Structure formats: C-alpha cells, structure tokens
C-alpha cells in the first residue's frame, strides 16, 4: 500500500534548522529508501508561491497565495509499506527527530492512503 504523508508546521522557532537535524533527516531518508519504503519526498515552497483552484457553486476560481491558514504545508513523503501503522511509524520517526534536535518546532503529519488499481477492481 502507498501512503502520502504531508507535514504542516504549527510553530517554527526563530532559529534556522540545526545542521544535525538536516543530517538526521538525510539519514532517516536513506534508511527508508534502503528498506524500500520511501518512494519520493520533497520540500514545498511557501504558499505565497502557489495558487488555489476552487470549485464552488459550479464556478471555478483561482486565488494566488499566500493562504490564511495558520499551518503551512512544507513537505511530503510517499511511502510503499505493508500497513497504515508502518506509515505512521515513519512519520513519527521524522517528527521525533525534529522534537529531539530543534526545540520549539511543532508540526503535524497527515497520513493518507493512496488508492491503487486494486481498490477499483
């Protein structure tokens, strides 16, 4: 099963991410890739560089960012795993690294199952 994990920051410290955090993230990514679990990942630009396309009442509208949400979507990772619990574990490990190495950083990770052809047989 594939799962998409998105990361939203709820509190970003005033200091830049420490180098040891970036090293730990790279190491976790390597581990997930070697395990065959991590299919893709990437950082996302701030919402002021994006747009939102909405369909409301039959009308399409396009709004340029930034968006007013208090939580900024900053990254994603796509995993191929055996269960939702395994996807949650990878997401938890990512957040634990941040907790341990960047005090004051707070975020939430949403874990979404990605449908595949087997879901529509």
Per the CB < 8 A criterion, the answer to whether 30 and 38 are in contact is no
Across the chain, mean pLDDT equals 95
- What's the domain range around 44? 2-120
Decide the pairing of beta strands 2-11 and 59-64: unpaired
Percent of the chain with pLDDT over 70: 99
Count how many domains the chain has: 1
Looking at residue 49, which CATH number applies to its domain? Answer: 3.30.70.1060
Asked if the model's pLDDT at residue 5 lies above 80, the reply is yes
The residue-averaged pLDDT of 99-117 equals 96
Interval 33-76: pLDDT, tens: 999 999 999 999 999 999 999 999 999 999 999 987 768 899 99
CA distance 66 to 49: 7
The residue-averaged pLDDT of 30-34 equals 98
């Amino acid at each position: 099963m594939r799962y998409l994990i998105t990361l939203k920051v709820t509190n970003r410290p005033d200091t830049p991410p420490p180098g040891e955090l970036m090293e730990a993230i790279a190491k976790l990514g390597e581990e997930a890739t070697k395990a065959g679990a991590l299919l893709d990942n990437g950082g996302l630009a701030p919402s002021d560089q994006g747009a939102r396309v909405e369909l409301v009442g039959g009308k399409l509208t396009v709004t340029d960012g930034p968006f007013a949400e208090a939580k900024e979507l900053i990254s994603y990772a796509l995993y191929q795993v055996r269960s939702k619990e395994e996807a949650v574990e990878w997401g938890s490990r990512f957040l634990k690294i941040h907790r341990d190495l960047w005090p004051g950083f707070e975020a939430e990770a949403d874990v979404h199952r990605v449908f595949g052809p087997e879901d529509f047989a």
